[in-house]
A and B are shown apart, each in its own frame.
Chain A
Amino acid sequence: MANSCIKYEVVTKSYGKKIIIKELSLDIPADITTAIVGESGSGKSTLLQMANGLVIPEKGQVSIFSKPINKVSIREQRLKIGYSVQGAGLFPHLSVLHNVTLMARLLDWADDAIQSRFEYLLDLFELDPELSPRYPYSLSGGQQQRVSLCRAMMLNPPLLLLDEPFSALDPVTREIIHSEFLRLQAIESRTTVLVTHDMGEAMKLAQQVIVLYEGRIEQQGSVEDIQNNPASDYVETLFRVGGN
C-alpha cells in the first residue's frame, strides 16, 4: 500500500459521557480515495474532523503528512487540506467568487493567479461563470455543493476531506456531480477522504472503504474485499439500504 497520509494512533473522543471514538487506530493511504461509511452516530464525522483539527482527541495522536497535529501547527496544515460539508457551508454574505477565493486573497495570491485558478475550477465543475457575482441563497443545492467543492480545491490541497457533500442532493444532481468527481480524480490524483452513510456512493467513488460502527472499525479493505466478504450483518445491512 502507498504511503500513509493520515495516521490515527489509539484515539478516543467522547462528548460528555458518550464515547464517540473508542481507541481507534487507522492509516489512511495517500493518493487514493478512502470512504468512511457508517450509520448516523457511528463517529465517522468526528473521525474526519480529527484530521483537520476541528476535533482534538482526548487520548491518542493524529498525524497528517507525518506530522502530529496540535492546536498551533494545525492552522498552517489546514491550508493543505480542502474541506467541504453537507449543505455546502458557503458564507451567505459572500458572492460565489469571494467564497471560493477568500483564503487565496488572505494569503496574498496574485490577482491573475486567483482569477485563473477560479476559472479553472468553475470549468471543472461545469459552473457558469455568470454565477460568480451571485450569492449562495440564489443558487440551487447542486450549484452550492459544487461551489463548496471549488472552495475546498482553491488552494490545490494535497488532501481533501469531504463530509457527506452529496447527501442532500437529489439523485439526478448527485449522479452528475459523482461523474464530475470521478473525472477530477482522473485528472489530479490526490488523497481524498469521503464520509458517507451511502455504501453505494462509497463503492462508486472510493478505492478503499472503512466501515465504522459505534466508534470503532467494523471492517476495512478494498471495495472488492468489502463487497465480497462483508465482515458482519451490519456491513451487509449497509449494502442493502445503500445499494441504490
Chain B
Amino acid sequence: MLRIYLINALLLALSTLLVLFSGAASSQATDSSRAYTIGSKNFNENYILGEIISQLLEDSGFTVDRNFGMSGTMVIYEALRTGEVDAYVEYSGTLAEVIFPGEGDSTPAELNQHLQSEGIEALQSFGFNNTYALAMKRDRAVDLGVETVSELAAQENIDLGFSVEFLNRADGWLGLIENYGFTQQAIGMDHGLAYQAIDAGTIDATDAYSTDGDLELFDLIILRDDLNFFPQYYAVPLIHQNLDPQVKNILRQLEGRIDEERMRDLNGRVMLDGKSFAEVASEFLTEEKLFTQTTSAVTGSSIWSNIYQNTLVHLQLTIIALSLGCLVGLPLGVIIYRSKKLSRGMLYVAGLMQTIPSLALLALFIPIFGIGKTPAIIALFLYSLLPILRSTITALLTIDPILKRAAEAIGMTRFQQLRFVLVPLALPNVLSGVKTAAIISIGTATLAAFIGAGGLGEPIVTGLALNNTDLILQGAIPAACLAIITEMLFDALERALVKPHMLVGQLPS
C-alpha cells in the first residue's frame, strides 16, 4: 500500500505547487496597481525605447514590470487596450496603417482622437522618423550617381531585393511602383540576408529603416524620398489614458530628445558594440541628464540572474499548465475510456488542437484572454491534454480484461477497482504520457515570450531580433537542461512508484 500513499503525496504536492504558483500569479496581478508594466515590440530600437521609459520611471521611484519582446503590433496594442501593458512605444505610420487602416496620413491630433475612444493616449514624438527607406552601398550609389529614389527608379540595370513584408505592403514596394514608376523586378528575401547580399554586390538596393544601427556597418546610404512617398513613422509613447498624470509628465521629458542620427547611434551601440538595452538606455539618460538620482545608472543585470528569473517563469508556466492538464486529462480519461465513441471523439479534438501551430493558437487567444501568462498557460494546457488523455485511455483500455474481471468479481466497489487495480496498472503508461506532455510544454513554453509571458523564450526572441546567438543560447540551453532534468525526474518518480517488473516493454533505464 506504500505506493498508494506515494501517489496521494504526489497529488498533494502537485496541488500545493499549483496553489503556490497561482497565488504568486494573482498577487502579481493585484500588485500591478502599484507597478507599471512597460511593453516593447521584439526589435532592437523598441527594446531600447522601452528600457529608456522603464528606467526613467524607476528613477522617479516607480516599480516597473518589463513585458518586452512582444510579437506584432496587434498583440502589444491589444495588451495596452486591455490594460495589461501601461505604456509602450509605437510608430505613427504603423498606427495609421495597421490600427486604423484606410485612414491615410493622419495628424497626431486625429490619431489621438481615434485612440481616445480606445482609452489610449499618444504622447508627443521622441523626434525621429523611423521610416522605410531604400538603402544602397555608398560607392555603388556614387558610381551610378544616385541620390534619390527617383534616380534609382530611372536606372535600368539594377537588382532589387526586399524583405517579404515590404514587397507586399501598399506603403512599400507596391506603392513605390505606383509613385516612382519602377519597372524593374524585385526579389523577396530575409531582411538580414538582404544586407549581406547588398554587401556582396548581389543586389544594388534594399529596404531599410532610417534608424537602422547597422547601416553604418555595411556602409549604406539612404536614398532621399524626393516624392515624400513613405509614410512617417514617428516614435510616440502610447500610454493608457488613466495613467497617473505624474507618469505622463515624466515621459514628456523625452519629447523631441532623439533625432534619426541619435537613434541610429543608440541602435548601433546594441547591434555593433554588443551592449545591453539596459546599458544603452542608461547611457542615454545619463547623457541627457534625465536621471535625478546618480545611483540609478544601470550596468545591466547579470546573465545568471536573468537565466534564473526566466527559468522560474518558465517553470511556473509549465507546471501550472501541466497540473491543469493532469487535473483535467486524468479524470476525463478515466471517465470516458469505457466509451469508444467518447474516447475517439475526445482524442480527435485533442489531436486537432495539437495540429494548430502554437504561435497561431497564441495569436487566436489574444482577443479572448489578452496577452501574458494566462493565454500562454491555457495554450500549454491544451497541448498537454492530448498526450495525457491518450496515454490514460490507452493505459486503461490495454489492462488485461481478466484482471478487470477479477477485481470486479472479488467484490471491490467501482472506486476500489479504480484505486487498487486500474490506476496502479495504468500508472506506467500514464506516467510516460505525462512525461511527454511535460517535455512538450517546456519546449512550447519558449514561444510564450511572443505574447509577453516571459520565460526562457524571452532571450530567444530577443536574440532572434538582434541576430545574437549568445542571447538565443541563454534561453535554449536552460530550456534543454530543463527538458533533460524533467526526463530524469519522471524516471525517478517512475522508479519510486512502479515496481521494475511492471515496466516490461518500456525503455531500459
Chain A residues engaging chain B, CB cutoff 8 angstroms: 49, 52, 54, 75-76, 78-79, 81, 83, 85, 87, 89-93, 98, 102-103, 105-106, 135, 137-138, 151-152, 155, 161
- A residues in contact with B402, CB < 8 Å: 85, 87, 89
Decide: B410 and A92 in contact? CB cutoff 8 A: no
Q: Does B289 lie at the interface of the complex (its beta carbon under 8 Å from any beta carbon of A)? A: no
* Bound: A98/B410 CA distance, A: 13
Pick the most buried of B405, B408, B410: most chain A CB atoms within 10 A of its CB: B410
> A102 with B499: in contact, given A87-B402, A89-B403, A93-B425 (CB under 8 Å)?
no
Q: How many residues of B contact A (CB 8 A)?
A: 22
> A83 with B425: in contact, given A54-B405, A92-B502 (CB under 8 Å)?
no
- A residues in contact with B413, CB < 8 Å: 75
Chain B residues engaging chain A, CB cutoff 8 angstroms: 1, 3, 402-403, 405-413, 416, 420-421, 424-425, 498-499, 501-502
Decide: B411 and A92 in contact? CB cutoff 8 A: no
> A91 with B421: in contact, given A54-B408, A81-B409 (CB under 8 Å)?
yes
Q: 8 interchain pairs (CB within 8 A)?
A: A81-B409, A83-B406, A85-B405, A89-B402, A92-B501, A102-B410, A103-B410, A106-B416
Whole-angstrom distance between the Cβ of B496 and the nearest chain A Cβ: 14
Whole-angstrom distance between the Cβ of B159 and the nearest chain A Cβ: 71
Whole-angstrom distance between the Cβ of B6 and the nearest chain A Cβ: 13
* Bound: A90/B421 CA distance, A: 11
Decide: A91 and B406 in contact? CB cutoff 8 A: yes
Whole-angstrom distance between the Cβ of B300 and the nearest chain A Cβ: 55
* Bound: A91/B405 CA distance, A: 11
Whole-angstrom distance between the Cβ of A96 and the nearest chain B Cβ: 13
> A93 with B410: in contact, given A54-B405, A85-B402, A85-B405 (CB under 8 Å)?
no
Pick the most buried of B411, B424, B502: most chain A CB atoms within 10 A of its CB: B411
* Bound: A137/B505 CA distance, A: 14
Decide: B409 and A54 in contact? CB cutoff 8 A: yes
Decide: B405 and A89 in contact? CB cutoff 8 A: yes
Whole-angstrom distance between the Cβ of B430 and the nearest chain A Cβ: 13
- A residues in contact with B411, CB < 8 Å: 75-76, 78-79, 81, 103, 155
Pick the most buried of B402, B425, B502: most chain A CB atoms within 10 A of its CB: B402
- B residues in contact with A54, CB < 8 Å: 405, 408-409
* Bound: A76/B412 CA distance, A: 9
* Bound: A141/B149 CA distance, A: 90
Decide: A93 and B412 in contact? CB cutoff 8 A: no
Whole-angstrom distance between the Cβ of A134 and the nearest chain B Cβ: 10
- B residues in contact with A76, CB < 8 Å: 411
